[in-house]
């Protein structure tokens, strides 16, 4: 099968820029808990861009690979084509749960138990024909302190498929059944299911707040996940959403307005500011600080990974407010904790991955209530390419012309 791979980085040696298209053996079901997917589409995310550009932090993170290369990609949707014995039981359980919402599924499950459905020889064909599937790509150990507490998203021994093990930029991928989630055909468009991993990051960032309903929120950084967090915050009931981004290089102010700001407004943003422009940054400060009768905004979602945005956050966040951090920073920043955190009584949330399964449930609910259609109507999926033309996808992102890019095997 075709697969897009990154060679294992070697310490003290330059890490080759870009990715490689290669031929690999099709991964097959070898364990009772395995599920095989035929990949329909995969989404390029910021981490994939970092791997493509051989980012140092990712070089260090991936230097422990036990294979000469790794198939990248951790956003995807596909059709289930095979499963082990235990996996079939898990899939049968998911089918029975779905039958509570979609009565037509009961024509297949009938009144059978999960064990009985799992033994049905037509199970895999039925699921493949009637469901699009995806998976949580953080593979957790189930044994560490965090897993035993149910905090799987901060598992000590997390293996991220597409970084530490083979991912989904290929024709097939095999994953453990406990990570699988299925959607009835038409429940959520496959183009959206293909990047629910990333929507989950945005959802978890919103979910980390004690409450968002009726709150005034600032979103700092309008990368793809920043834009998605605008949509999720709106769907979760935010009263007002203020957004910022910075024009630079090929991403001129006019381009920023025409693409990211326009998209943010379509997804629920009320005010947009280009903080690379002095006058506009001062206007942003003035406007944000005027909220809540001059106290500032209730919450900040930091999505850019820029320490300049951290400074903006502390400047506009009201006393008692909350700051959720998803953007990945480089280097360090001095911080006066007494001034910015302790005396103002603020709360910081560090966000990684998705809560299993509450984040998935929250985003599924919001997507089905209209957000998925809004994503499609707004043209959020801006580019789609055959898998072998992956370079074009990364080039579209680098140029600033793309929002979400999908690769199709």
- Tell me what pLDDT residue 250 has: 66
Q: Hey, what are 103's tokens? A: 């009565």
Distance of alpha carbon 386 from alpha carbon 381, whole angstroms: 14
- Tell me what pLDDT residue 331 has: 83
Q: What distances in angstroms separate CA 167 from CA 24, 39, 267, 393, one per listed residue?
A: 12, 10, 30, 17
CB atoms within 10 A of CB 14: 9
- Tell me what pLDDT residue 120 has: 97
- Tell me what pLDDT residue 100 has: 95
Domain range annotation of the chain: 2-194+379-408, 200-350
- Tell me what pLDDT residue 251 has: 74
- Tell me what pLDDT residue 408 has: 98
Let me know if the fold of 2-194+379-408 is the same as that of 200-350.
Answer: no
- Reading the chain (409 residues) residue by residue, the pLDDT tens digits are 999 999 999 878 899 999 999 999 999 999 999 999 999 999 999 999 999 999 988 888 898 899 999 999 999 999 999 999 999 999 999 999 999 999 999 999 999 999 999 999 999 999 999 999 999 999 999 999 999 999 999 999 999 999 999 999 999 999 999 999 999 999 999 999 999 999 999 999 999 999 999 999 999 999 999 999 999 999 999 999 999 999 987 678 898 998 999 999 999 999 999 999 999 999 999 999 999 999 999 999 999 999 999 999 999 999 999 999 999 888 889 999 999 999 999 999 999 999 999 999 999 999 999 999 999 999 999 999 999 999 999 999 998 889 999 999 9
Q: What distances in angstroms separate CA 319 from CA 91, 99, 172, 286, 342, one per listed residue?
A: 48, 47, 50, 16, 10
- Tell me what pLDDT residue 172 has: 98
pTM: 0.95
Q: Is 35 exposed, middle or buried (0-12, 13-18, 19+ CB in 10 A)?
A: buried
Strand, coil or helix: 183: strand
Q: Is 271 exposed, middle or buried (0-12, 13-18, 19+ CB in 10 A)?
A: middle
- Alpha helices, DSSP H only, in 257-324? 262-267, 278-289, 291-294, 307-316
- Tell me what pLDDT residue 400 has: 84
Distance of alpha carbon 289 from alpha carbon 294, whole angstroms: 6
CATH class entry, domain 2-194+379-408? alpha beta
CATH topology for 200-350?
A: Rossmann fold (3.40.50)
**Tokens 């289930």 identify what position?**
80
Q: Which residues contact 61 (CB under 8 A, 6 or more apart)?
A: 163
- Tell me what pLDDT residue 187 has: 98
Q: What distances in angstroms separate CA 56 from CA 51, 254, 399, one per listed residue?
A: 9, 32, 21
Q: Hey, what are 340's tokens? A: 């910015």
């Amino acid at each position: 099968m075709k697969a897009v791979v990154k060679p294992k980085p070697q310490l003290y040696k330059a890490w080759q820029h870009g990715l490689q298209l290669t031929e690999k053996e099709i991964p097959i079901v070898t364990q009772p808990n395995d599920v095989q997917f035929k990949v329909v589409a995969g989404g390029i995310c910021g981490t994939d861009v970092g791997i493509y550009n051989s980012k140092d932090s990712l070089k260090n993170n991936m230097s422990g690979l036990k294979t000469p290369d790794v198939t990248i990609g951790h956003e995807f949707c596909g059709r289930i084509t095979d499963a082990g014995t235990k996996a079939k039981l898990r899939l049968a359980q998911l089918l029975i749960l779905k039958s509570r919402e979609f009565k037509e599924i009961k024509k297949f499950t009938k009144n059978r138990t999960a064990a009985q459905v799992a033994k049905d020889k037509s199970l895999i064909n039925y699921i493949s024909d009637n469901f699009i599937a995806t998976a949580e790509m953080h593979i957790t150990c189930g044994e560490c302190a965090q897993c035993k507490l149910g905090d799987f998203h901060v598992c000590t021994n997390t293996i991220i498929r597409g970084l530490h093990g083979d991912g989904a930029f290929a024709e097939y991928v095999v994953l453990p059944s406990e990570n699988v989630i299925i959607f009835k055909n038409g429940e959520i468009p496959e183009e959206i299911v293909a990047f629910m991993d990333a929507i989950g990051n945005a959802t978890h960032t919103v979910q980390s707040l004690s409450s968002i309903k009726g709150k005034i929120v600032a979103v700092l950084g309008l990368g793809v996940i920043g834009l998605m967090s605008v949509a999720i915050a709106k769907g979760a009931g935010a009263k007002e959403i203020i957004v910022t981004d910075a024009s630079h290089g090929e991403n001129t102010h006019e381009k920023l307005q025409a693409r990211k700001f326009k998209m943010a407004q379509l997804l629920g943003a009320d005010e947009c500011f280009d903080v690379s422009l002095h006058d506009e940054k001062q206007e942003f400060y003035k406007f944000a600080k005027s909220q809540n009768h001059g106290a500032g905004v209730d919450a900040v979602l930091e999505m850019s990974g820029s320490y300049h945005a951290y400074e903006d956050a502390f400047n506009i966040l009201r006393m008692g407010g909350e700051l959720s951090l998803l953007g990945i920073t480089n280097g360090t920043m001095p911080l006066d904790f007494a001034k910015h955190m302790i005396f103002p009584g603020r709360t910081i949330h560090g966000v990684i991955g998705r809560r299993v399964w509450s984040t998935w449930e929250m985003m599924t609910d919001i997507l089905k209530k209209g957000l998925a259609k809004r994503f499609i109507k707004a043209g959020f999926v801006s580019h789609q390419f055959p898998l072998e033309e992956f370079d074009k996808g990364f080039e579209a992102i680098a140029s600033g012309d793309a929002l979400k890019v999908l690769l199709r095997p």
